[in-house]
Amino acid sequence: MIKAGIIGASGYAGAEVVRLLLNHEDVEIVAISSQSYLGQTFSSLYPSFYTIFDKEFVEDNEVIDQCDVVFASLPHGLSEKYALECQKLNKKFIDLGADFRLDNEDDYKEWYGLDYHEKDLHLYSVYGLTEVNREKIKESQIIGNPGCYPTSITLGLYPLLKEKLNASTHIMIDSKSGTTGAGKSLSETTHFPKCNESFHPYKVAVHRHTPEIEQELSKMYGDKIQVTFVPHLLPINRGIISTIYVPLKKEVNEEDIEKIYHDYYDKEYFVRVLKKGDIADLKYVQYSNFCDISLHFDKRTHTLVIVSCIDNMVKGAAGQAIQNMNVMYGLDETKGLQLKGPSF
Amino acid sequence: MIKAGIIGASGYAGAEVVRLLLNHEDVEIVAISSQSYLGQTFSSLYPSFYTIFDKEFVEDNEVIDQCDVVFASLPHGLSEKYALECQKLNKKFIDLGADFRLDNEDDYKEWYGLDYHEKDLHLYSVYGLTEVNREKIKESQIIGNPGCYPTSITLGLYPLLKEKLNASTHIMIDSKSGTTGAGKSLSETTHFPKCNESFHPYKVAVHRHTPEIEQELSKMYGDKIQVTFVPHLLPINRGIISTIYVPLKKEVNEEDIEKIYHDYYDKEYFVRVLKKGDIADLKYVQYSNFCDISLHFDKRTHTLVIVSCIDNMVKGAAGQAIQNMNVMYGLDETKGLQLKGPSF
Amino acid sequence: MIKAGIIGASGYAGAEVVRLLLNHEDVEIVAISSQSYLGQTFSSLYPSFYTIFDKEFVEDNEVIDQCDVVFASLPHGLSEKYALECQKLNKKFIDLGADFRLDNEDDYKEWYGLDYHEKDLHLYSVYGLTEVNREKIKESQIIGNPGCYPTSITLGLYPLLKEKLNASTHIMIDSKSGTTGAGKSLSETTHFPKCNESFHPYKVAVHRHTPEIEQELSKMYGDKIQVTFVPHLLPINRGIISTIYVPLKKEVNEEDIEKIYHDYYDKEYFVRVLKKGDIADLKYVQYSNFCDISLHFDKRTHTLVIVSCIDNMVKGAAGQAIQNMNVMYGLDETKGLQLKGPSF
Amino acid sequence: MIKAGIIGASGYAGAEVVRLLLNHEDVEIVAISSQSYLGQTFSSLYPSFYTIFDKEFVEDNEVIDQCDVVFASLPHGLSEKYALECQKLNKKFIDLGADFRLDNEDDYKEWYGLDYHEKDLHLYSVYGLTEVNREKIKESQIIGNPGCYPTSITLGLYPLLKEKLNASTHIMIDSKSGTTGAGKSLSETTHFPKCNESFHPYKVAVHRHTPEIEQELSKMYGDKIQVTFVPHLLPINRGIISTIYVPLKKEVNEEDIEKIYHDYYDKEYFVRVLKKGDIADLKYVQYSNFCDISLHFDKRTHTLVIVSCIDNMVKGAAGQAIQNMNVMYGLDETKGLQLKGPSF
């Protein structure tokens, strides 16, 4: 049994790691920590788990001491020291925050306002977009788990950019996320009477996931890609859907696109390219680790519309983290993630 | 491996049996049927299951032919013939409809407008409220799986009535159900713009679950119990909550009540009597087979308020059906039902 | 033009007074105050009003200075001093809080933990349940506007208790409220991911509206009435529905009940007794000052189920306050309240 | 008093005309028709109006006979004959459907599959985008009221295209609509358990509003504009938000854009260009006739993101129709539309 621990398990992403690992037959959750809820039980915060998982939150260091693999879900700037400690102790470290996602320290400084203190760590860490970086993840001890928006967007664009079918290197991306993405902390935005029956974009073209998206898309494309990225807040709990607009090269036709996406993804359990005519809906990925992609060719303007959906808490956070853990340990990638999401 | 089949698998309750059985390691779903969707795939109706479970709907009889245990989720009046056939072939039959719930044919006639055609079957069948009738279920081949409202209500009142702590035999029950209880068929009531931001009772004091509730409560109490039962429609997808008002006998106090409920239920995995001060919330049983019960003593009026929650599709239908199957086969009762429901 | 002001106009109830008064042709809103948002504009808090009503929040005293009638929407314990000042200056004072609702200071002490400091004021003030106390309201300068739950409950029971048709003096009341009832302040309960797809009771049998409900029902009945009152939180924005269970005297039949309710209410513009067979739904009173009542006779148990709906922010707060203002000024009672609530 | 009638008043758009006209002091609703609900009362369909507006649905022709101005809300292909009749009788005709929106019959044929039978009528009719075509509307007797999506989009782009600030003539438009846009008829899409907690695009790049959008944008721009238009269904009742992506000409800066939008719209009561930094939210236009526009400059890519919100049933249908009626009659344009939308 793998001994797993979660630092920052009281937040939504951390708590979701707990929920999923409880279904993983090769893993035992040995310790969970929380600064704010120290000494309280997990189930007092998340009553679904009453009688199932009543473990208490302990200090962060106790988690590292007791575990083989550490998941961290912390505000940015706090992960480096734990990653370093894990590295020294030869333990695996999977960071669900933003600290190991950006290759370029300048980007981190610009968008997050902080420096890297352990620059070397960033050379060893791997960006954990499993389907794209699987081979590197196998060899790595430190994973920067992708952001939720970037996961939906990079998976949606990967075959297209890799094959350079786009006619433009400036891409418009309109994303919509459920409210769990805003986290457990109270805010005006997620006050029910305000959020309910509401819909609006936020951080228009200035969201922190922008440099992460551009970094990964540019790597795929092999040259600089720029995006205008606009996230919106959906009055639902779970799910992200990204609608992506890409003018295609003249010589590319609809069949080419379909074929390439299936070539890339038909072997991937967690990426489902929908049948032509079907439209991706975030309802059908909720509570699962799937990324559903539907492709729509606007022949009038020779533009491809890509619709890419994930559960922001699963494939967009905890699920992909566990998928990465499975890869790191050489386990079947779907272990603990064989959830059957509901359709209603 | 147990070969299981579902007749009427296109409706919500049948589809939920599919979802849950896919998580059951001792069961293989061999066949599913649907009159309306014959020849179509399960995943075309419920796209969450695309690539996971793409089986086609076949004819009802094919299900019986191929399976050891048959789950039926049909409009009332249609289950008897399949139950008879299963009995003849020595197969187990678990009916999620209303046809095997009422002991008294007159009640069935009055509330459902139909006769029993196979009267003998009703002598053999058992009312599948697992926690109460477990021993009988072990011996039975035909199960009348309880209705969703009755499950929440009978579990909520069982210890109290069994111990005759109630001061009145007329009990007020105010229940609220999510919209999946209204089923997959389109209706004015569940048209989104009408249902959303709406709330109202329906079938006030005339709901068909009334005789079933009174039958089971009366059996528990050992004498006639009457209820005024008012169901309401909640603008959410899943869950039933019943708020039950019972004036207590003078000599009964709050501690007695707490003790008795824990005595009855602490050994039951799927019934959680919450800690004093906690309040049951249907959110925390969604997608799970739990029944959460909280007890509230109104000392001003010496009245007990019982709050009992279930997921109407799981403990209130498919989950309890599988729990009963586990009992019938002598399996661990929690197999296939070890789901970790989300708290957000 | 009547000069009106609102103290505490940044909260939901106060802001709703603003919204409604903007439609009142005989009233000018002269000043609004808020401790927390002093100097900010109303429309910065409530952007629907941008360009329509951009007035700034001032100090409480400025409101009293400038206005003929003052609406106060404050935490309990803060209204007496403003009421006193208005009385001295011969201005009308309508309190939307709890400070002038309870006749008995002991009740206020027990449920709100405070004393009355200006005991005389409470002799002059009138409980503003317009349909019941209209004549007294005409003569009064200080109104204690009823609570939202009490409004739905007392209007629902008034004819029945006044005519003493109830067989019991202990009444079970199951109420459900939208989230605006919980106010503008952030809370765990109204955090969207938690509140959405959730439903639960709260303050079971210990809600502060209990003494107010019993006080008014007892006055109507002419003798002591006790209630077991359980409020629930609905995951919608607006509306309260109360489902009330009353065993009837043997000699009372369904027709009697229907007739009496129509006799009492057919002349009341804002109380609609629905046609037999129709069921009250809070959707159809949202954004209006109506109270819809439907009556359901459970002949099996000779029990009446009364369903009573209001918009908690309108008839349950701001609307009734304005209705009372109209009565105090001798205006047509419906002025400013002729809103046509949407059905979708 | 203007005598108004509504043909097709049982659908949502027609019913909303009723709701709004009931607030219009210069208009009397003389007759309403419905094929499906003939002889039933308006309030039996829309119970909010019980005791307020209990008028019966009559035949279509009775509406025309009795009224000075006829609003028609019908499936496409049915409006021409009524428009013709109104023209003959010198009555005003305002069509809320699609029959008088497209200048080019070929577009109508391609997208709606029908021919124009009364070609002359289309020469006289005016596209009723009030803020843009006000002068023509004054002189017209037949109005083709704009579609909901086109209203949000054309108002959002008008100043920009009129001033030719766009760097591209191909514009990406990502729109999201509440479910009332899908109408009163039952559909799988708007079945509550399916629609709730769901989100997805539909008719991707093939929605019928596309030619209407391109027609109007092209007129504004003075040359051909093409759009890739993707509508999505929001699990809320009301409102449309369009997020529009426009690369700007190099020489155009953020201040230019702000100034131009204010120049065009500051005199328009119903179009609110939000302050820099504020973000349009459909919550704040619900139940009102406002169009809220916020402008966001993505300096990294020199792209303008325009966010434009309306209530799809008001400014996107009934409200704009009444605004047009006011213009046709020379009334104050805001009459009957001075609703104060709620912020919660």
Q: Which of C74, C58, C67, C73 is nearest to C91 (CA)?
A: C67
Q: Is A12 in CB contact (< 8 Å) with chain B?
A: yes
The pLDDT-based confidence of A341 (bands split at 50, 70, 90) is confident
- Chains meeting C at 3+ CB pairs closer than 8 A? A, B, D
CB hemisphere CA count around D68 (13 angstroms): 11
Q: Do residues C17 and C322 lie in contact, with contact meaning Cβ atoms separated by under 8 Å? A: yes
Facing residue for B307 by CB, picked from C201, C239, C279: C201
Distance of alpha carbon A324 from alpha carbon A330, whole angstroms: 10
| Cα separation values, A45 from A226, C234, D182, Å | 41, 21, 39
The packing angle between helices D319-328 and D130-139, to 10°, is 40
pLDDT digits (tens, 9 = 90+) for A96-107: 999 999 999 999
**pLDDT tops 90 at residue B3:** yes
What number of other Cβ atoms are within 10 A of residue A329's Cβ?
16
**pLDDT tops 90 at residue C340:** no
What number of other Cβ atoms are within 10 A of residue B259's Cβ?
11
Average pLDDT value for chain B:
97
Q: Is D199 in CB contact (< 8 Å) with chain A?
A: yes
- Give the amino acid at A41: T
Average pLDDT value for chain A:
97
Backbone φ and ψ of C194, nearest 5°: -90, -40
**Is A196 within 8 Å of C193 when comparing Cβ atoms?**
no
Only one residue has tokens 């905890």, namely A318
pLDDT digits (tens, 9 = 90+) for C153-175: 999 999 999 999 999 999 999 99
Distance of alpha carbon C118 from alpha carbon C95, whole angstroms: 15
The pLDDT-based confidence of B151 (bands split at 50, 70, 90) is very high
Element (H, E) at D99: none
Q: Do residues A7 and A74 lie in contact, with contact meaning Cβ atoms separated by under 8 Å? A: yes
Q: Do residues D69 and D4 lie in contact, with contact meaning Cβ atoms separated by under 8 Å? A: yes
Q: Which pair of tokens denotes residue C252?
A: 């009372």
Q: Which pair of tokens denotes residue B335?
A: 């197999």
Mean pLDDT, rounded, for A163-178:
98
Distance of alpha carbon D7 from alpha carbon D65, whole angstroms: 12
Per residue, the 3-state secondary structure of D249-288, as one string, reads CCCCCHHHHHHHHHHHHCCCCCEEECCCCCCCCHHHHCCC
Q: Are strands D57-58 and D27-33 parallel, antiparallel or unpaired?
A: parallel
Q: Is B235 in CB contact (< 8 Å) with chain A?
A: no
**Is B19 within 8 Å of A344 when comparing Cβ atoms?**
no
**pLDDT tops 90 at residue A329:** yes
The DSSP string of B221-278 is HTS--EEEEEEEE-SSSS-EEEEEEEEBPTT--HHHHHHHHHHHHTT-TTEEEPPTT-
Q: Is D203 in CB contact (< 8 Å) with chain A?
A: no
**Is D199 within 8 Å of A226 when comparing Cβ atoms?**
no
Q: Are strands D291-298 and D303-310 parallel, antiparallel or unpaired?
A: antiparallel
What ipTM was predicted for this assembly? 0.97
CA distance C86 to chain B (A): 38
**Cβ-count burial C23-48 (b if 16+ within 10 Å, e if not):** bbeebebbbbbbeebeeebbbebbbb
In angstroms, how far is the first alpha carbon of chain A from the final one? 34
Across the A/B interface, how many CB contacts are shorter than 8 Å? Answer: 87
Q: Is D245 in CB contact (< 8 Å) with chain A?
A: yes
Distance of alpha carbon D165 from alpha carbon D248, whole angstroms: 6
Distance of alpha carbon D162 from alpha carbon D212, whole angstroms: 17
DSSP state at residue B73 = -
Residues in chain B: 344
CA distance B285 to chain D (A): 17
pLDDT digits (tens, 9 = 90+) for A187-204: 999 999 999 999 999 999
CB hemisphere CA count around B177 (13 angstroms): 27
| Cα separation values, B39 from B63, B214, C10, C204, C263, Å | 14, 41, 59, 51, 60
- Give the predicted TM-score (pTM) of the model: 0.98
Mean pLDDT, rounded, for A55-69:
98
For residue C45, what pLDDT is reported? 97
Q: Would you state the torsion angle of the CA atoms of residues A216, A222, A224, A229, taken in this order, to the nearest 10 degrees? A: -40
Q: Do residues C196 and A179 lie in contact, with contact meaning Cβ atoms separated by under 8 Å? A: yes
Nearest CA in chain A to B289: A48
For residue B248, what pLDDT is reported? 98
pLDDT digits (tens, 9 = 90+) for B250-288: 999 999 999 999 999 999 999 999 999 999 999 999 999
DSSP state at residue D41 = B
Average pLDDT value for chain C:
97
For residue B339, what pLDDT is reported? 81
The pLDDT-based confidence of B28 (bands split at 50, 70, 90) is very high
| Cα separation values, A139 from A120, A292, D341, Å | 16, 28, 58
What number of other Cβ atoms are within 10 A of residue B45's Cβ?
18
Backbone φ and ψ of A238, nearest 5°: -130, 150
Q: Do residues C173 and C244 lie in contact, with contact meaning Cβ atoms separated by under 8 Å? A: yes
Q: Which D-chain residues 49-88 have CB contacts (< 8 A) with chain C?
A: 49-53
CB hemisphere CA count around C231 (13 angstroms): 23
Helix (H, G, I), strand (E, B) or coil at A248: strand
CA distance C40 to chain A (A): 17
**Is C196 within 8 Å of A12 when comparing Cβ atoms?**
no
Nearest CA in chain D to B47: D194
Distance of alpha carbon A204 from alpha carbon B339, whole angstroms: 38
B300 contact residues in C (CB cutoff 8 A): 205, 210, 226, 228
Helix (H, G, I), strand (E, B) or coil at B184: coil
| Cα separation values, B307 from B312, B319, D23, D133, Å | 15, 20, 45, 60
Vertex C8, ends C7 and C13: CA angle to 5°?
A: 110
* Burial group, residue C1, by CB count within 10 angstroms (0-12, 13-18, 19+): exposed
For residue D212, what pLDDT is reported? 98
Distance of alpha carbon D244 from alpha carbon A6, whole angstroms: 41
Is A148 one of the annotated active-site residues of the chain? yes
Q: Do residues B77 and B112 lie in contact, with contact meaning Cβ atoms separated by under 8 Å? A: yes
**Is C237 within 8 Å of D288 when comparing Cβ atoms?**
no
Q: Which pair of tokens denotes residue B22?
A: 């896919």
**Is D343 within 8 Å of C23 when comparing Cβ atoms?**
no
Distance of alpha carbon C295 from alpha carbon C293, whole angstroms: 7
Vertex A232, ends A271 and D243: CA angle to 5°?
A: 105
Vertex D124, ends D118 and D127: CA angle to 5°?
A: 105
**Is D343 within 8 Å of C49 when comparing Cβ atoms?**
yes
The DSSP string of A109-138 is HHHH----S-TTHHHH-EE--HHHHHHHHH
Only one residue has tokens 């003075």, namely D222
Only one residue has tokens 């701001």, namely C318
What number of other Cβ atoms are within 10 A of residue C123's Cβ?
8
For residue D146, what pLDDT is reported? 98
The pLDDT-based confidence of B340 (bands split at 50, 70, 90) is confident
Name residues of chain D where pLDDT drops below 70.
Answer: none
**pLDDT tops 90 at residue A226:** yes
For residue D340, what pLDDT is reported? 85
Per residue, the 3-state secondary structure of chain C, as one string, reads CEEEEEECCCCHHHHHHHHHHCCCCCEEEEEEECCCCCCCEHHHHCHHHCCCCCCEEECHHHHHHHCCEEEECCCCCCHHHHHHHHHHCCCEEEECCCCCCCCCHHHHHHHHCCCCCCHHHHHHCEECCHHHHHHHHHHCCEEECCCHHHHHHHHHHHHHHHCCCECCCEEEEEEEECHHHHCCCCCHHHEHHHHCCCCEECCCCCCCHHHHHHHHHHHHHCCCCEEEEEEEECCCCCCEEEEEEEEECCCCCHHHHHHHHHHHHCCCCCEEECCCCCCCCHHHHCCCCCEEEEEEEECCCCEEEEEEEECCCHHHHHHHHHHHHHHHCCCCCCCCCCCCCCCC
Distance of alpha carbon A109 from alpha carbon A128, whole angstroms: 21
Mean pLDDT, rounded, for C288-295:
98
How many angstroms separate the most distant Cα atoms in chain C? 62
CA distance D80 to chain C (A): 28
Q: Is A265 in CB contact (< 8 Å) with chain B?
A: no
Facing residue for C186 by CB, picked from A12, A178, A186: A186
**Is A180 within 8 Å of B344 when comparing Cβ atoms?**
yes
**pLDDT tops 90 at residue B98:** yes
